[in-house]
Structures are given as structure tokens and as C-alpha cells.
A and B are shown apart, each in its own frame.
Chain A
Amino acid sequence: MRSATPWSDVVRFLVEATGETLYMVGVSTVIATVLGVPVGVWLQLTAKGGLRPNAAVHRILSFVTDLGRSMPFIVLLVALTSVTRLLVGGSIGSTAVIVPLAVGAIPFVGRLVQNILSEVHVTVVEAAITTGASTLRIVRSVLIRESLPALINAIGVTVIALIGYSAMAGVIGGGGLGDLAIREGYQRFNDRILWSTVAWLAVLTTVIQFGFTRVAAAADRRRHASV
């Protein structure tokens, strides 16, 4: 029976793995947001009752989106290997994990965004239409700005989901907290590392969630009547 890993080593492992996780999740969240928000906007514009209703486009887009969302991440991870190699010049390591993470998150973000945009009340949108605003302006100043707090929360939800997905990064050598818990903790029967990682993950996700909630609240101009 070997002695437990010293705490200083546990911390070193955790710091390193946290860096990898935040790198993978951070970059893929940015990519998923940049590409997923337009997908969500497009879904909502083409939806029935949207600003540019188009049943055919909407159906195709919905189908692709739902297909992307139904794909188990572990499958996406290995299925996209050749695409990943093309995009980042390699198929292993943290950077390589970003590709499937982002690809998996785009439809996820797209659906979340569409749901949120559809909540903007129709009278508000129509009022904007009657001002002679262009579709682009309505998307920007009305749909997105009115739902900004909810959109920020949705990005927070995406980050948390991606932290979960990134636990599978170990499969292609991506590292990160999930990999640490599985490889160093679970497979080597190192309970100290396993449970430290679990606890740290709980703290990390809580802090991230809290941060997003705060930012979303700060962006929300709806205040309870003070007059």
C-alpha cells in the first residue's frame, strides 16, 4: 500500500488541470457563442411568426441543430478527428479538444438562443417594426438587447455543460479536471485526488454560475417600480 499523494502535489495537479479545462472550455465557449448566436437568431427569424418566416429553411436548420445536439459527445470527439487535424494541425491535446467541444456546443447554444429570443413579446417586436426599423436593427436593438440577461445566463449554462463534456477530453489526450479525476484518481485508486477534484469541480462550477448570474443581473434594466 503506497502512501497518499502529498497535498502539495494534489494542488499542483489541480492547478495544471484547471488551466487545461479553462483553456478548452473558454475557447470553445467563445467559438460556440460567436457561431451559435447567429444560428439561434436565424432559427428564430425563420420560425413561424418570426421576422422572416421561412418554413423550409427553418426545418432544415432545426434538423441539423437537433442532429448536432443528439450526438453523444464522446462520439463527436472521435468522429471529428480528421476535421480537427485539418483545423488545428493535430488530433490530440487540449487544443484538439476545442474543435469537437465547439462543434457540439454550437447547436446547443443555437437552440437556447432561439428559445430565449422567442420570449421577447410580440407587441414589442411589432412596435419596433412600426418605427420603420430594419430587420438587422430589430435583431440587435430589440431581440438581443431585450433578452441580453437571459442570453448571458445561457452562456453560463453552456460553460457548465462544456466543463462536463470536457471531462471526456482525456480520450484524445486533452487533459483537464475530468481527465485528472478519471486517470489519476479513479483508475489509480487515488481517492485523495479523485475527491479533491470532485470538490474542486463543485466549487469551480458554483463560482462560474454565480459569476454569470451576477453579470446577467447587472445587464438587466428591468427594475421593480420605485415610484
Chain B
Amino acid sequence: MITVENLTKSFQGVSALNGVTLDVEAGTVLGVVGPSGAGKSTLARCVALLERPDSGAIRVDGTDITSLDGSALRAARRQIGVVPQGDSLLRQRTAAGNIALPLESAGIPGPQRRTRVGELLDLVGLTDKAASYPDQLSGGQRQRIAVARALAANPSVLLADEPTSALDPETTGSVLTVLDRARAELGVTVLIVTHDMGVVRKICDDVAVLEQGRVVEHGKVLDLVNDVASRTSSALLPAVDLNPINESSYDRVADVVLVGFAAVGALLPEAAHRFGVELNIVGGGLTRLGETPVARFRLGLNGERSDSALEWIGEAGGSVQRSLKGPQGVAA
């Protein structure tokens, strides 16, 4: 739906984007993460068409939108709904009036405008706040109105720039829920720029890690967590505590990543049963990525067929990442 190709941008000789290439499939949520100064904001401003890249292309439905001007540019902007960083609502307009702004820009007549605003207020769960002014709303409510405004003109892409940066965890949840609903109910393709891995954990299908103006990692979240070397897995999976004393009492010690209900629920007991080994979880834990339970466990195994058990876990869908004690250990 939206692709970013080889985007570069520098400011007074300092390069902010260094050939960024990204691809977001229609109806999915991509989280762009990275440390401060990685170029996240610049990328967001380029995609929002507030900043023109030095080179490269941003394509929505195949059309490059980076070189447009005048009314074509304004039309392209309506294709991309933007939830800007920080407070961006008109303080002299009601919540409903703020949501109506893109519809006014698009020249949609009053009655249709009011209907659409009503739908959006419903989508973000703030129907009762239609007549409230931004100063009468909480930070989370204001941000949900900003999301509704971004969605008003039926954009095919929704860009959210640090949508949760100023919010407490609970409010963050409500804003993310609204973004997720936008994807689920409107089929919008969502691109979230954030420094918060929690956002990726909760609603992103895909993730792109930006460092020094480059994409250093890009893929499906559930694929990347299986790769122990990935930044995504180390940021999202539960840590495995090192406990050498504990580990010394096992024939085999290995880390496994398990994705999905079946894997997390039944795999380990079955492995223990099948191969007649003692299998203990000595570290790690369970988490949830979106709706999917994901676990990273450090396992300690005792028994002659420990290696076979680990192998079987790998074949059954778990990814066994590190055999901390090799075959030349006690069992040999």
C-alpha cells in the first residue's frame, strides 16, 4: 500500500535519512522504532508530506507523492491521515469541529460532514465529547480526537508520529486500541513512528528498526522474535536471567522461543513425556505480542534423550536458540 524507496534527507549537510526503504502491506500496522536521532521524525515528516526528501520516492498505491505541488499535493495529503506529534488540535474548535477540518478541506458539504464526524466520534468512543473543547479533554481523549481527524477524509494510509509519547500507560492503551480499530474496521494501513517498543508489542504486525538514518531490521514481528540476534527479539522477549549455579545441575541448558497458543501451552510437557526427560524452566517467561502469546524460556533438561527432546521441540515449531551445554556435557 505504501512503500518508501531509498529515501534520503539531510539538513545543512547532516544526513538524517540515509537511503530508507520500507514497505507496508495494505491493512497492516508497521512500527518504525529506533533511538532518538535515528531519523524517525524526519521519516515521519517526509511521509506526512511536510518535508521533501532529497531523493527517493514515497509511493501510495504505486504513485510517487514526493514531487507533487499545489492541488495535487493537497489531494495526496488527504490520502495520508496524520496524527502529529504533540498537541495539534485547534483549541478554538470543538472536538467535532476539529474532526471536520479535513472534510472542509476536501469540500464536503455540511450535512455529509456532520454524518461522517458522528461516525468517527463513535469509532474513537467519544460521541459524548462532540461539543467539548480540547481544553476540556484529557490528553488521551485529545489524541483520540486527533486520530479521528486523521481518519476523517478516508485516507488509505494513517501515519502516527509518536502518538503515545506524552501519555500514561493506561491512556496509551486507549489510543492504541483506537489505532487498531482503524485498521480492523476501516482497513487503513497504519505506520506508527515511536520510540516505545510497547507500541510494537501491542499492535504492530511489522517492525522496522531505524539507526543513523538506515533501516537495520525490517520484517514481521513474529518472525523477528524467533531470531535471537535481532534487536526486536531482545527488546520484546522476556529476559532470561543468568543463573549458573542453577544451570550446572542440568545435562542440557537451552533457550527456546515459542510462538502461539499451542506451542506455549502443550509443547514442553509433551516433549518431556515423549522422551522421558526431566524438563524444567529455569528462566525467561511469557509475554504477548498483540493477541499472540510468545514465550522465551531457558530450559534445563536431565536425561539421556535431552538432545532428542530439544530437537523435537525445534521441529514442532519452537525455535531452540542456544544450547548452552553441548553434547560433550555430562550425558556423554
Contacts and interface: CB of A to CB of B under 8 A. Distances in A.
Contact of B88 (A123, A145, A222, A223): A123
Interface string B216-248: 000000000000000000000000000000000
A148 B92 contact: yes
Interface in A11-32: none
Interface in A121-156: 121, 123-124, 126-134, 137, 141-142, 145-146, 148
Contact of B80 (A126, A130, A224, A226): A130
A138 to B, nearest CB: 9
Contacts of A142: 90
Contacts of B86: 123
A220 interface: yes
B144 to A, nearest CB: 14
B77 A225 contact: no
Nearest to A135: B74
Interface residues of B, number: 39
B78 interface: yes
Interface stretch (B110-118, B133-141, B201-209, B268-276): B133-141
A153 to B, nearest CB: 15
Given A129-B77, A132-B74, A223 B136 contact: yes
B92 A127 contact: no
Interface stretch (B30-38, B100-108, B191-199, B249-257): B100-108
Contact of B101 (A123, A131, A222): A131
B74 A134 contact: yes
Nearest to B88: A127
Contact of A146 (B82, B90, B137, B150): B90
A222 B135 contact: yes
Contact of A132 (B78, B87, B91, B134): B78
Contact of B92 (A130, A221, A224): A221
A126 B92 contact: no
A221 B91 contact: yes
B92 A220 contact: yes
13 contacts: A121-B87, A124-B87, A127-B88, A130-B49, A130-B84, A130-B150, A134-B105, A141-B104, A146-B91, A221-B91, A221-B133, A222-B92, A223-B136
Interface of B: 48-50, 74-78, 80-82, 84-94, 101-102, 104-106, 132-138, 146, 149-150, 152-153
Interface of A: 121, 123-124, 126-134, 137, 141-142, 145-146, 148, 220-227
